[in-house]
Structure formats: structure tokens, C-alpha cells
Amino acid sequence: MDTRPIGVFDSGLGGLTALRELARLMPQEDLVYFGDTGRVPYGSRSKDTIIRYAQQDVAFLNTFSPKAIVIACGTVSTTALDALRQQCAVPLYGVVEPAARAAAGLTRNGKVGLIGTQATIRSGAYERALSALRPGTQVTARACPLFVPLVENGRFRPGDIVVETVVGEYLEEVKAQGVDTLMLGCTHYPLLREVIGACMGPQVELVDVGAACARWVNAQLAAQDQLAPADRKGSHRYFVSDSTGDFATLASMFLGEDVTGDVEQIDITVY
């Protein structure tokens, strides 16, 4: 039994899709979320910058003495995990391994699509994990740089002509390859699930990498007897690096429910 909190972070608010699943699976846990809303997006930045930002995000969450930190960001998980692990004694959970396990288990024809930010696709991390788990898997990868700004601006609903056009263009090649599984390699993308699902067709399984990571973290903590007591009610605290003004409205989109818990703005550059 361990009642220390679980830290969760993302470049922005996309990681709340993972927090939503963590809270559903482990309502007894205290969750501390940091969204680097003042510096989002990370996905178009260099590896060095992503590592530097992520080191500050981890240093901030470490001030809460967490039992685990969840990297609820495809970009940081694919680009900075090794560098972060070298400097952090707290267990760090990224999305790549659990998501690759989910995709490897789902694909029947061995053809997997992958969409993510530019940094994620450049890293090749999902491909490496998949080929280790299921040798011979054919991965068709596509960077989708417009998805994060669209989602952060509330543009993700079916029938939105801009969203439908961008999704159609980005997914054209992945679809043409006949993939039966598509990894939504960025934690912002589950909001586009309906539009992406309609574009790919019902025969294609979609892997939500943040949710896969949340299930993995739950299983790991349970196996190590590190879950908080089941009769406890966990608290949720939110921190952002930009103004908290629109947080409740935007965050409720990602959480699928109203935000409960405090939100505070912090200066991430001091960590």
C-alpha cells in the first residue's frame, strides 16, 4: 500500500486523456497533473529542447514526492524517456511500450498505422518497440502536425469541414496500405477518434496510447503492491504554465466531464 501521489504530465492538455483513464481505473489515487500550456506544442521542436522541457516537467512533479510519474505525451515518451530515466529515481512510465503491446496484440494482418507529432515519427520509437514485440510488423507512419493545434482550439468534431479535410489528407496513405490497427501516437488524438474512426472504417482498431499506458501503470502498481487502499477517495490537482483562464472549459473536453480539483499556474522555468 502506498498513498503517495502519481504525477502525470504532457506538453499541454492532451495528457488529460490518460489522466481520465488513470482516474477511472484507480479512483483511490491522488493524481497531480502538469500541462506545459505555456510551451505547447513540443512535437515540432528539436530533441534537445524536448529533453530540457521534459526534465523541468519531471523536476516539478518530483516536488510532490510521487510514487510514479506518467509521461502522458507521445512526443516526450518517444524522444526523451532514456534521458529522463538517467536522472530520475522515481519510476517513469511512457506510452510507447504499453501502446506497442496493445497494437501487437490487436493486429491480425501485421500491418499497423502510426500517427503522431513530427518528433514522435522522427524518433522511430514505436516502430522499434513493435518490431521487438512482433517481428515483421509493417508500420506505416505519418506525422500529423496540424492535429494538436486543431484539438487545442476545440476543433475535433465530426462535420467540421476543416477537421474532416485534414484527417482525410493525413490518413490517405496509411489507409491505402490496408492497416488493420492504427496507433493514435499522441495523447491529443483521442479527441479526433470519431472522425479518424469514420475515415479509417469500422474494421480498423484504434489504439489510444494514453489509455494503454494508464492500464499498464495500474497493472504495475498492483503487481508491486503500491496501490493506495481501495476504500480511499483520491484527489486531483492540476498545474499549468500558462494562464488558468480557459483551463476548466478546455480540460473538460479532454476529461469528458467537468473538472473537479484545484488548478494553479506555475513558473516551470525555475525547475
Catalog residues that contact ligand DGL under the rule CB under 6 A. 10-12, 14-15, 40-43, 73-75, 117, 120, 148, 186-188
Name the residues annotated as catalytic.
73, 186
CA distance 116 to 44: 11
> What minimum distance in Å lies between the beta carbon of 134 and ligand DGL?
22
> What minimum distance in Å lies between the beta carbon of 105 and ligand DGL?
21
Task: Determine if the peptide bond prior to 149 is cis (ω within 30°).
Answer: no
Measured from the CB atom, is 187 or 218 closer to ligand DGL? 187
Residue nearest to ligand DGL (CB): 43
DSSP secondary structure string for all residues of 18-29:
HHHHHHHH-TTS
- Please give the C-alpha separations between residue 183 and each of 29, 68, 135, 137, 253, in angstroms, as whole numbers: 28, 24, 17, 13, 21
> What minimum distance in Å lies between the beta carbon of 132 and ligand DGL?
21
Measured from the CB atom, is 46 or 65 closer to ligand DGL? 46
Measured from the CB atom, is 104 or 125 closer to ligand DGL? 125
Give 263's contacts (C-beta < 8 A, 6+ positions apart): 237, 238, 239, 240, 244, 247, 248, 251
DSSP secondary structure string for all residues of 172-196:
HHHHHTT-SEEEE-STTGGGGHHHH
Measured from the CB atom, is 95 or 221 closer to ligand DGL? 95
